[in-house]
Amino acid sequence: MGLSIRSFNRHVIDHEIPFIEWGPRTRRFLISDLDRVSKTLKTTKQIY
């Protein structure tokens, strides 16, 4: 039991913390991409 908890903590430190570090930047990038896509879809709808 103690070993599994220790390995789980190591997994969290290895995988979750880097995600928290780079997560907001990529999330902002993805949101800007989605915003750009929705804007282009709106403009194409206006054209047709």
Q: Tens of pLDDT along 1-48?
A: 566 777 777 766 676 665 656 666 666 776 777 788 788 877 766 655
pLDDT at 40: 80
Domain that holds residue 21: 5-47
Could you give the CA distance from residue 40 to residue 45 in angstroms, rounded to a whole number?
9
DSSP string, 15-37: IIHHHHHHHHHHHHHHHHHHHHH
In 11-39, which positions are buried (b, 16+ CB within 10 angstroms) versus exposed (e)? eeeeeeeeeeeeeeeeeeeeeeeeeeeee
Based on the structure, what is the number of domains in the chain? 1
Amino acid present at 24: P
